[in-house]
Structure 1
């Protein structure tokens, strides 16, 4: 008998949404905010609109730079 817990419907839905966004080139905002808080606490947390706009500009601008 396995003791591994199966993910619930909410966890599966969150995973599916995150996967779809990554396929379209849009990183998950919540993951980004968590990364900023852990690795760059001095930076201002952008609104979702600012985050989305910056990600779209970075994707289509073609600079390809990363912070880490």
Structure 2
């Protein structure tokens, strides 16, 4: 059967997949990417990351109204 570590890993993958399907950014993946590919460089706080992803997705700061549809 599955051990506890495997179940935790599966839960992590399912959570990440669910966030991706609804467009929710994954801060943990961003931090791991920064640590692995850009060591020593500062990375955004959770709040900065979330705001940047929302602005990128919905066009905030572009002078246009921010709206979904």
Fold agreement, TM-score > 0.5:
yes
Question: Which structure carries more relative contact order (alpha carbon 8 Å, separation 6+)?
Answer: 1
| Residues 9-20 of structure 1: pairs in structure 2 closer than 5 A | 9-20=7-18
Runs of 4+ in 1 over 4 A off after TM superposition: none
Unaligned ranges ≥5, structure 2: 61-69
Q: TM-score, normalised by structure 1?
A: 0.65
Aligned length: 58
RMSD over aligned Cα atoms = 2.4
Unaligned ranges ≥5, structure 1: 63-68
